[in-house]
Amino acid sequence: MSLILVTLFTNFNAEEFLALVAGLLIIIAQVLYIINTFKRKVQPSILSWLGWAILTGTSLVSQFMVAGWKWDFTGLFLSTVGCVIVSIVAISNNNFSLRKKDWQFVILGFICMGIYLASKNPWATTIFAIFADLILGVPTIRKAYLNPDSEKSSAWLIGLISWTFTLFICVNHGLLFSLFPLYLFLFNVTMVYLTSKK
């Protein structure tokens, strides 16, 4: 068994290893958030999570079609799957937040997403993807600001650690590939800060 593990890890380069660690951390964070949703310890903003699922899935597919599979896509892939599962658990458990005002953020997010999809410029697509994600996340940030307990979960801290590892991977791929992970790192910093307030 130990020989198999040694062989497995010697076949990984540093980038692949960091991607694996970041991916495992994303899985742990998502499982914790899903459990917290199921136990009603957190109440996800459903439009944020559904929007993120669509956006990250679209981003993943478009980047894959341009560049093929890259190890720094691991977090994006796992995030997409996690967002879908959080949405399903929240809806099936009837434990979600939905305010009328949230719809305006979804509409703005999808406008940014449309620009992102229509653009052939990789910088424009990345920037509009970040704007779309942030706009979709406003209901979650607002909820964490107004009621920190409604989003209190160690999942945000674990996500922060995961995106930190992903940023290390992106160093070799240039600023363009670093922008989205950097944004996700900052988003998680914000959520950790907001949910740690009393």
Residue 198: pLDDT band with limits 50, 70, 90: low
pLDDT digits (tens, 9 = 90+) for 102-112: 788 778 777 77
Residues 53-112 have pLDDT tens digits of 888 787 777 777 777 777 667 767 888 899 999 999 999 999 998 888 878 877 877 777
In this prediction, residues 131-136 reach a mean pLDDT of 85
Structure tokens at 148: 């920190």
pTM: 0.79
Burial label for 6, CB within 10 Å (0-12, 13-18, 19+), is: exposed
Six token digits for residue 114: 């449309």
pLDDT tens-digit series, residues 144-170: 999 999 999 999 999 999 889 888 888
- The secondary element (H helix, E strand) that includes residue 184 is helix 175-195
Task: Give 15-59 as a DSSP string.
Answer: HHHHHHHHHHHHHHHHHHHHHHHHTTSS--BHHHHHHHHHHHHHH
97 strand-pairing partners: 45
pLDDT band at 5 (very low <50, low <70, confident <90, very high): very low
* Contact between residue 148 and residue 195 where contact means Cβ atoms under 8 Å apart: yes
